Structure 1
Amino acid sequence: MNARIKTIIAEAQFGSGGGYDNSSGGGSSPASSGHSESDGSSSPDEFCNDLREFWRHASPLSSSVRDEVDRDRIRPVSVSSPRVPDDIQHQQRMLLLLPAFASPAIAAVRAEALFYWLSGFDVGWVMDMDASGRGGESLTRREVGRRVRAWAQALSTMERVFRLRHREFTPAQRTALGELAVASAGAMLKLAGAVAALESSPSKLLAALDVYVSVSETYPVLARLFSWGPSHPVSAATETMLAGLVDAVQRCGRDLKAFIRSHYQWRMPQSGEVHPCVGFWMGYFRCMMRNRVSLYFVLGNEDGDGGLSLVAELISCLEAVLEEKSAALAFPALRQVFMLNNTCAIMRRAVGSDLEVFLPPEWVRAREERMEGYIKGYMDASWAPAVSRLDGGRTKPSAVSRRRHQLVAFYSLFENACSAQRCWKVPDPVLRCVLRKTVSESVVPAYRRYLEDHPEVEVAVGRTAEEMEHQLSDLFEG
């Protein structure tokens, strides 16, 4: 039996799932995605013309200030290029917007320029958030995830663009660039406040980790680049936001097991198949461990095991909840099939994925033994009663009528089991094959021996051993 369980694992096609949105049955780690103004069809000259069009409408700025832009520094990339690189586009836009951040400052023009600058990274919406980081709209979990990914990409790209141009600028330009960086960094921090202010949820934990990583990695670089000391407004605001994010992650971390028990809808599948929560939570754990260094720094790792205990504990919590909920299923044998399906699904999503390195060495072996136990429990509850009707026929003499009664009882139990279990579902083809073979090897030889030992018993039409074996091959199709 153990060899068959190992076969299931060896032939697995491992999957993943999760994410910010709890509507998905499985998930994958959220991919970073940015926004580019160019769709690949505009030439560099057209791009620069768009920016000059902005300046024509950004009224009160004098032409003398606009003329300070060094036009040689925005020399277009060759039009033979199929696409203007994003960083070049951002640098060109930065150079044309930079005069708005030179002294003397004109608030309206600076605000308009900042919005245009941030919109080029698909994060202009941060300016609509108030000082606490809350916007005037209620966002779905999917939208929160989308915005966090766009925001993290934008912050990383902005930092790189600032760093690439910083050394090439004159002192006056560096001063203006510093003002743009201050304005950008301050506006971008609003999202950190928005995430920290969300209600505690699995989505908040992932979003808070992503934002924490971006802020803790990027803002110190900007502080060094522009010589922002600890008392600088951006540096002070950064420390406040990081503290808020740490608190948010810690609170969500303490609630994780409660989330597993209550966050996903626990309506039980009546065919015994894999519960949708398995794909959701296993994908969620993978997304969570994407930022594992920050996760363990924030949550603390008292055991010093590099994350082994947390992942194993969370999976064990999921398994325990599945076991509890299986009691709602109508038949003992169906409960065993349900747990077998779900244990197999958990293993497939863990073994061979990036979660496996966070599981102790004995974890796989323990689940293999557990699956063997579920198969034995299923056989005892479902087929042992039928086979028991055939026991004793070889050693105990009895009347022909009694033997016929034994056979009728066997047929009845056999048909009842087949009728119910055709509707049960084992979605994994390897596991389905193992389960069918286990049933067949238990029932068919016992039935064949009984017929051989009692040739005087008349076998009904369609009741040969081969025909019954064929009937068992239809089990677990759902």
Structure 2
Amino acid sequence: MTPTDGEQTVIAAAQHIVRALGTNKNLTDDMRKILEDLDTRLSTMTLESKNERGRVSDIEELLNSVQEKVMSWESDESMIWDSDPEAASEYLMAVDEVRKLTESLGSLHLDENGDESKLLRQAHVVLQIAMARLEEEFSYILAQNKQCFEPEHMSFRSCEMELPDEDSTISVEEDPGDDSLRRDSSSRSWEEFIRDLVHPDVLPDLKGIADVMFKSNYDQECCQAYISTRKDALDEFLFILEVEKLSIEEVLRMDWSNLNVRIKKWMRAMKIFMRVYLPSEKRLCDQIFGEMDPTNLICFVETSKSSVLQLLNFGEAIALGPRQPEKLFRFLDIYEVVSDLIPDIEALYPDGFGSTVRMECHEVLKRLGDSVRGTYHVFENAVESNISTIPFAGGGVHHLTKYVMNYIKTLTDYSDTLNVLLEDHGWEDPVSQSSLMDPVEEEENENESFADIITPMGHHLRSVTSILESNLDGKSRLYRDGSLQQIFLMNNIYYMVQKVKNSELRAFFGDRWIRQHNGKFQAHAINYERATWISILALLRDDGLSNPGSNSVSKTLLKERFKSFNLAFEDVYKSQTSWLIPDSQLREDLRISLSLRVIQAYRMFMGRHANQLDSRNSERYIKYSADDLENYLLDLFEGSPRSLQKR
């Protein structure tokens, strides 16, 4: 502790007394030794006092010098780092000198009213002014030297495919889109896309300012300046990505067409923001605060957290929205985007400081998964509850069949995701498979375990086709004509088989399912032939043509047979030309089968009995040749009603 002026006077007087006593000749050697030591100590205290006064003078001179440099910029409206680089360097050195002075003076036990205490208070004032200026300069350099990159220049695919928007959940006739949304399949490393968000030339300046502020215990002010400035930059980039700040209520009130567009923009923004912009932001934090761990991580988390939660908030709003079948593909797209980004988010936000973001991301993913499962079950229920009150015109392929098969075909694009989401949520076929099988197939089913070869998604796809078949069976009963019932079922099951055979669905249904359903539509074709033609072909048999008690053919009965056949064939022609078999191959196969049975029987009947009629009357009863009938059969199942009389 440095003696005060009063204390110095006392020391001088004491030293004078000690020296006077030392001249006494009567003192012993020990007493003389004690007085000499005391004189030495008093001399040392006097010398220290003189040195301390010199040191205070030096400190005061240095403080005044650096204060002048600091204060010279307070009246200057220009920014220091916009001026000569040497001036910026000198300013930073001056501030560091103030910091050292405060540390040096602060380490001493000073008298509150002493000169050193006054210098310490002065140094603190200068340091506070300098820190405020450095904070301003720090924010200015960050803001003025930020570098934004245009996302259009990055190799991210933007998916523009629109799924049909229908008022009804079951009304789509054509494919929902073979080119439906895909995940980004770029094989390039994401590190290649990291950008410099601030010009590299100013990084040493930013790091230098941060170092001085941290050493001066103004680390919170420095971090706050960084966080505030970079938050603005992140908000600006989200604006460039066309991401709006929307509340959950605003998203839920949005119509689907508008929301669909925003979802596509959101998915693209999520990929770019999470895999490019945030890693770039984290690198910037490391470049400026890298040696001040964990400050770099804290600054990154605080800078980016609100933007990330804003993006996740949109995903949560989607998960809370109504579950409608036409929205399932978008829900799956969003789920896959978030799921694919989980590793990136966990790498950016480790446990501890980033736990809030990690937890929110996993929670949103869980809600999206629940939404996907719920929407799929809504789809199944919609298929089951689709009730018709009038028969489908022409017995063609029903809109429901097209919708369901094209819908599940598109779902195969998401097989990995659906296998995960549907795995632990049970499966039960609403329509017993065995009830739709013949005994041979049922025995085959007993010898083969579905669970060993069919994925969870495969179970659910089979389930919904079973529901569809049951629904179609109910719709077929709306037809009064039993033959048309068989045509309707044949058309629809054939359509299902072709969709499975010629698409990725085959892997989920398997060849045995295809064989079973090939047998089904062929059985319906046979049932049609029986229902329509057995009674007609019976007219071309010889049974009942002989006269009673004689083996000769009755001409009267023969004429009635030809007449009845003509009427029956004309009736079939008139009605079944309006029936429709959309698939050309199926239509041709059925026509060939009819020709083999009907035309062959007609030729043989004609060959046996045509010459038994008088030539004058034969044209009245034999109206059509076999070739005529064969040509007429080609008009069947075109969906355009015709009449033989008009022809």
TM-score normalised according to structure 2 size: 0.55
- What does residue 579 of structure 2 align with? 424
Cα distance in 2 for residues equivalent to 1:192 and 1:316: 33
Aligned residue for 1:318?
Answer: 468
1:76-225 mapped onto 2 (5 Å cutoff): 103-104=224-225, 113-122=233-242, 124-125=243-244, 127-128=245-246, 130=247, 132=248, 134-135=250-251, 137-140=253-256, 142-162=257-277, 165=280, 168-171=283-286, 172=288, 178-179=301-302, 181-225=304-348
Helix, strand or coil: the match of 1:426? coil
Partner of residue 438 from structure 1, selected from 565, 569, 593:
593
- Counterpart Cα distance in 1 of 2:266 and 2:323: 21
- The 2-side partners of 1:306 and 1:32 are apart by 21
Q: Which structure exhibits the higher relative contact order, with contacts defined as CA atoms closer than 8 Å and separated by 6 or more residues? A: 1
> How far did 1:411 drift?
0.8
**What residue is the counterpart of 1:387 in the other structure?**
537
Matched, 1:456 2:617: no
CA drift at 1:413: 1.0
Structure with more helix by fraction: 2
Distance 1:343 1:31 in 2: 28
| Contact 1:18 1:282 (8 Å CA) reproduced | no
Q: Which deviates more, 19-28 or 350-359?
A: 19-28
1:167 to 1:462, Cα distance in 2 relative to 1, 3 A:
same
Amino acid at match of 2:520: R
- Going from structure 1 to structure 2, the CA distance change for 1:378 and 1:256 (only over 3 Å counts) comes to same
Map 1:14-25; keep pairs closer than 5 Å.
19=163, 21-22=165-166, 24-25=172-173
Please identify, of 202-211 and 166-175, the stretch whose mean Cα deviation from structure 2 is larger: 166-175
Q: 1:120 to 1:221 in 2, by over 3 A?
A: same
- Structure 1 residue 361: Cα displacement: 3.0
Alpha-carbon distance between aligned partners in 2 of 1:119 and 1:256, rounded to the nearest angstrom: 36
- DSSP 3-state at the match of 1:424: coil
**Aligned mates of 2:503, 2:349 — CA distance in 1:** 41
- Matches of 1:353 and 1:215 in 2, distance apart? 28
Question: Aligned in 2, Cα 1:233/1:448: closer, same or farther, shift over 3 Å?
Answer: same
For residues 418 and 352 of structure 2, the distance between their equivalents in structure 1, rounded to whole angstroms, comes to 27
Cα deviations by residue, 1:178-213 (Å, 9 ceiling, x for unpaired)? 455423321111222222222232234433333222
1:292, CA displacement in angstroms? 2.4
Per the alignment, do residues 136 and 445 of structure 1 end up closer, same or farther by CA in structure 2, a change over 3 Å counting?
A: closer
Residue equivalent to 1:306: 455
Asked if structure 1 preserves the Cα contact closer than 8 Å seen for 2:349 and 2:355, the reply is no
- Does the 8 A contact of 1:18 with 1:281 survive in 2? no
Unaligned ranges ≥5, structure 1: 1-16, 35-67, 74-100
Structure 2 unpaired stretches of 5+: 1-160, 185-196, 203-221, 290-295, 427-450, 547-551, 640-647
Cα distance, 1:360 vs. partner?
3.0
Alpha carbons of structure 1 residues 340 and 251: separation in structure 2 relative to 1, 3 Å: same
Deviation at 1:143, TM superposition (A): 4.7
- The alpha carbon displacement at 1:168 in A equals 4.8
Say whether residues 1:70 and 2:199 are aligned partners: yes
- Partner of residue 368 from structure 1, selected from 509, 518, 526: 518
Which residue of structure 2 aligns with residue 402 of structure 1? 557
Aligned partner of 2:177 among 28, 37, 45: 28
Displacement of 1:280 in angstroms is 1.8
Alpha-carbon separation, structure 2, partners of 1:190 and 1:452: 82
Residue 216 of structure 1 aligns to which amino acid in structure 2? S
Aligned partners of 1:147, 1:333: CA distance in 2, in Å?
50
The question of whether the paired residues in 2 share the 8 Å contact of 1:159 and 1:222 is answered with: yes
Residues 579 and 636 of structure 2 are in contact (CA less than 8 Å); yes or no, is this contact kept in structure 1?
yes
- TM-aligned CA distance change 1:33 to 1:265, over 3 Å: farther
Corresponding residue for 2:630? 469
Counterpart-to-counterpart distance in 2, 1:104 and 1:202: 48
Give the Cα–Cα distance (whole angstroms) in 1 for the partners of residues 404 and 583 of structure 2.
19
Q: Structure 1 residues 410 and 143, CA, compared in 2 at 3 Å: closer, same or farther?
A: farther
Supply the distance in 2 between the matched residues of 1:355 and 1:265 (Cα, whole angstroms): 27
Mapped contact 2:486–2:525 kept (Cα < 8 A): yes
**Identical aligned residues as a percent:** 22
Matched residue, 2:409: 286
Provide the rounded CA distance (Å) in 2 between the counterparts of 1:240 and 1:292: 22
Contact preservation (8 Å) 1:229, 1:235: no
Distance 2:386 2:314 in 1: 24
Two-structure CA RMSD over aligned residues (Å): 3.4
Closer, same or farther in 2 for the Cα pair 1:105/1:374, shift >3 Å?
Answer: same
**Alpha carbons 2:349, 2:357 under 8 Å: kept:** no
**Letter of the 2:347 counterpart:** R
User: Normalization by structure 1: what TM-score?
Assistant: 0.73
Number of matched pairs? 396
